A and B are shown apart, each in its own frame.
Chain A
Amino acid sequence: MTATVFRTRGLTRIYDTGKVQVRALDGVDLDLFESEFTVLLGPSGSGKSTLLNILGGLDRPSSGTVMFRDIDLTRLDDTQLTAYRRDHVGFVFQFYNLVASLTARENVQLVTDVARDPMPPEDALRLVGLEARLDHFPAELSGGEQQRVAIARAIAKRPDVLLCDEPTGALDSKTGVQVLEALHMVNMQLGTATIVITHNAAIRRMAHRVVRFQDGRVLSVETNDHRIAPQEIAW
């Protein structure tokens, strides 16, 4: 069995909105592993994004622990969390989140400027099949292309983990598959532990591991013996 990349114990996140307290995470115990492709499934509001944000060092739990390898993320201060994100984590978001005033290449460069051992932006874009779109601004790219730029940006730093929050949520089936292919390839070629949130149950079939969420808790964890290729997925 491979080593764990994330280990959470009793992870709880409470949003205090004044009148009501929302328990977004309610005692999550979860182990995720190096080089694996993990899919997080669950109904809206079940706490998936909250978990991903905490794993990525964007947010802190109200209680419980998160270990990244042998680092306790809950003990890191702001500067250390920033360094953690910069050195280890790649993010892909549902709405691409590209900087509108920068070209595809420059959006990737945003990461390579601060990373320790980045690959050239052009290489990262080639990995996602966008070598012909280097100097296009986001407004000049399709949704799928924008999302692939976001993936290139996430992988350009050679992250240890790639966290994707509904990366295909805004895309149609065909472009969604292109994005999944890119993720799959990164996972295979670079061995990056990849965690993908999705509402699309079909995607679970390409994962090593599928985690189901419900009301801020882990409902089930299953492993896939027979993974299918992204091209075979359709929705």
Chain B
Amino acid sequence: MVMRALDRKLLRDFARLWAQALAIAVVLGCGVAALVTSFGMYQALNESRHAYYERNRFADIWASARRAPIHLVPLVESIPGVRSVEARIEGMVTLDLPGRVPIAVGHIVSLPTFGPPVLNVPVMRSGRLPDPDARDEIAVNEPFARAHGFALGDRIVANINGKRRVLVITGTVLSPEFIYTLGPGALMPDREGFAVIWMPERAAQGAFDMNDAFNSLTVALHSGARIQDVIAAIDRLLEPYGGTGAHGRDRQESDSFVSAEISQLWTMTIVMPPIFFGVAAFLVNMVLGRIVALERTEIGLLKALGYSNATIAVHYLALAALTAIVGVVLGWIVGARMAGGLARLYARFFDFPYLILRASWTVYGISGLLALASASVGALRAALSAARLPPAIAMQPPAPPSFRRTAIDRAFDHLRLSQPTMMIVRSILRWPLRAAVSVLGLSMAVAVLAAASFFDGALDRMIWLTFDQANRQDAALILAQDLPEGAIDEIAALPGVLQAEAQLVAPVILRNGHLSKHVAIEARRPDADLSRTVSSGGRVIAPPPGGLILPQRLADYLGIAPGDAVTVEFLTGRRETLHMPLSATIEQYVGIGAYADFETLNALRRQAPLISVANVTLDPDATEAFHRAVKQLPKVAGVAMPTDARRSFQDTIRQNITITTTVYVTIAVLITLGVAYNGARIQLSERARELASLRIIGFSRGEVSFILVGETMLLALLAQPLGWLFGMGISWAFVRGVNSDLYQVPFVVQPALFARASLIALISALAAALIVRRRIDRLDLIAVMKTRE
């Protein structure tokens, strides 16, 4: 097929404008890549989870009790809306693993005697499920087995309910209940230090003294069942047996983390791509507007030759579309790689049996269409103005832009600005819309940088408050059951322990009107030095006798302020319901808790002082001895290691932040280059004659360059405050998106980081302007003056 002459013009124009087109395509490509990554992963994670839950019958409701008789099960089954019920025995145990010094923690889940589980069906990865009649056979979660290189038939030692038992691994499994696994007090999955252990029901009954009883219940509902009603009915049934409150998927730990990640991806999806697409649309608008202005006569000519308005509009739209296509292809390539990287990252945290963590073709399609659409929107104004240009007018050269003396000019007169400075100011005032668009585009880059730098500050603050201030213990020994306070002396006497402090933990429901929240009240002595409640300013506030301290966001959620009373419903012991005043609020970034005085809590529960956790600091040289001793302690169900948790949290998050920051800085530099380069090119094209005239009448290259570079830099400077503002907006959106019961990210604004963002943006803008400046050196003075514009 012979190419039409108009299409040839299109391709040649595109080839001539390659640098500008590429600058735009890169920005568009960033949008496409961001969309493929965030929306692609959002969809992939959401769908993987959905498929996994469906196929393996993820439960709808979880409930636990201290010890409930097995005959309750038919009663639960008969609750309207309930489809299936599974009663289980769950428990925490400490593990003594071959070749590992620190204690590992195991979460035991019982397997039914007859047939496979009905709900939360494990996926067999290797071997087989333990024999229902075996006493020492177990299956473990695959990541744990892999982390230790365990083979089928390998043995581990567990300290179950005070008895050391040797268990044989017969199989490895994955479960929809444990996509994300966290050991006690951990902030990141620790595959070596935390195991999920599936044990035959009979063995578990014996181990936990649960004959004809259960302590955990999972329930699936019929579609359309009212979950709140079912939860209430289950709570009524379990209450006499130490029920601690049934809950839905929203409080299932693994699902909460997967959901949090999914909602973060959604936040990314709605925040990042629109910025790129918006900036790209502005750029297309700017560049194409200039091209149409330059090609007035050619447009007039085409019309004189009988080309229709529509053909001409399409011609310019096609120029934008070609740019978009380049951007889309770039974006797809980069997006596929970034999505792959994210998928690998997820594989380190989330345990899915099959990884469909790949952006779907629909996402590629949608991102491509959106990029094309935003380029077209940007091109529309220019294309329409080309279509509307009356042919007779188009044939005449455009009148010189009308500069008018304004009040601003008179104000500037007093400043005695040099002529080149005057030219910069006038040009911005003459094309205020274009200047505004450039400023907006540049500010988006600053915003992205500011938002990226925000993570650093937020993380520092989270670590400072959570670890340096609030949780300063090296280890927390979680007792199998509450013990008299005297036990703390025993723990203090363990090898390697420097300091030991008592803590009582009581699960409760806090209520205010119809609002309620399940939390654990932690109570410590007022002089506790290791685990403390700390205000956002870093001040230690010990809960006063009789009062309660809550994190601010929990108080907000419950709608109470200091001085208000809140209803406290104890879920253990005598299960009394009391009222306690809220005496103060604190900032808490990790998890959500409630805090009371040690004496107060014991008194409210009408008990001689009991402890459930011992916080200790360790002699760094004696940790091995400490771990060896704790492994032998029958009363310890688990050990949390805040110092280790901090290290892995810090390492992982730092690494993630480094990646994110690199990506964001790259993105911001690309946006800045795109906007500043195109802006300067347009200026140069409009001013070529003017600048050449200045050169001819004797201005130096430097003075002439100053006009070009000066305008770009002035616009870039104006963009900074706006960028900071937008950056805060993005950070704020992110903070809102992340906030959950699991985490709260503090909204930290650090001027130094903003300054760094501005520095990067200004340097990129300068680089772009200098690239264009080189064209001034090559300016052919005679040719410029001779050509008619």
Contact = CB atoms under 8 A, between A and B. Distances in A.
Contact of B309 (A58, A78, A107, A115): A78
B9 A58 contact: no
Given A59-B390, A59-B392, A102 B9 contact: yes
A113 B6 contact: yes
A97 B306 contact: no
Contacts of B392: 53, 58-59
B147 interface: no
B298 interface: yes
A29 interface: no
In this complex, the member of B4, B5, B306 whose beta carbon has the largest number of chain A beta carbons within 10 angstroms is: B306
B306 A113 contact: no
B8 interface: yes
B302 interface: yes
A82 B5 contact: no
Given A101-B13, A101-B16, A58 B6 contact: no
Contacts of B16: 101
B309 A97 contact: no
A110 B302 contact: yes
A86 B12 contact: no
Given A97-B297, A99-B298, A114 B390 contact: no
Given A59-B391, A82-B309, A107-B5, A97 B788 contact: no
A95 B301 CA distance: 11
A101 B306 contact: no
Contacts of A106: 5, 8-9
Given A59-B390, A107-B5, A101 B303 contact: no
Interface residues of B, number: 25
Interface string B475-493: 0000000000000000000
B5 A97 contact: no
Contact of A82 (B9, B300, B303): B303
A93 interface: yes
A99 B308 contact: no
B304 interface: yes
A87 interface: yes
B306 A82 contact: yes
Nearest to B11: A101
A198 interface: no
In this complex, the member of B5, B307, B308, B391 whose beta carbon has the largest number of chain A beta carbons within 10 angstroms is: B5
A116 to B, nearest CB: 10
A87 B9 contact: no
Given A58-B392, A59-B391, A97-B395, A91 B304 contact: yes
Given A82-B309, A97-B395, A113 B304 contact: no
In this complex, the member of A102, A109, A110 whose beta carbon has the largest number of chain B beta carbons within 10 angstroms is: A110
B305 A58 contact: no
B305 A114 contact: yes
A91 B304 CA distance: 7
A101 B12 contact: yes
A113 B4 contact: yes
Interface in B645-679: none
A111 B302 CA distance: 9
B12 A85 contact: no
Interface string A88-101: 01010101010111
B307 A114 contact: yes
Interface in B277-319: 297-298, 300-309
Contacts of A87: 306
Interface in A94-146: 95, 97, 99-102, 106-107, 109-111, 113-115
B311 to A, nearest CB: 8
Nearest to A115: B306
Nearest to B306: A86
Interface residues of A, number: 29
A110 B309 contact: no
A83 interface: yes
Contacts of B395: 53, 58, 93, 97
A4 B506 CA distance: 106
B12 A102 contact: yes
Contacts of A95: 297, 788
A102 B307 contact: no
A82 B308 contact: yes
A58 B306 contact: no
A97 B397 CA distance: 11
A183 B164 CA distance: 110
A56 interface: yes
B304 A109 contact: no
A233 B392 CA distance: 31
B553 to A, nearest CB: 62
Interface in B1-28: 4-6, 8-9, 12-13, 16
B5 A85 contact: no
A137 to B, nearest CB: 10
Contacts of A101: 8-9, 12-13, 16
Contact of B298 (A59, A78, A82, A97): A97
A220 interface: no
Contacts of B298: 97, 99-100
A56 B4 CA distance: 24
Nearest to A137: B12
Nearest to A59: B392
A155 to B, nearest CB: 12
A58 B391 contact: yes
Interface in B378-394: 390-392
B315 to A, nearest CB: 11
Nearest to B298: A99
Contact of B8 (A89, A91, A93, A102): A102
B505 to A, nearest CB: 77
B95 to A, nearest CB: 75
Nearest to A121: B5
A217 B729 CA distance: 66
A114 B309 contact: no
16 contacts: A59-B390, A82-B303, A82-B308, A85-B304, A85-B306, A89-B306, A97-B297, A97-B298, A99-B9, A101-B12, A102-B9, A111-B306, A113-B4, A114-B305, A115-B306, A153-B305
Given A91-B304, A115-B306, 14 more contacts: A53-B392, A56-B304, A59-B390, A59-B392, A82-B306, A95-B788, A99-B298, A102-B8, A106-B8, A106-B9, A107-B5, A109-B5, A114-B305, A114-B307
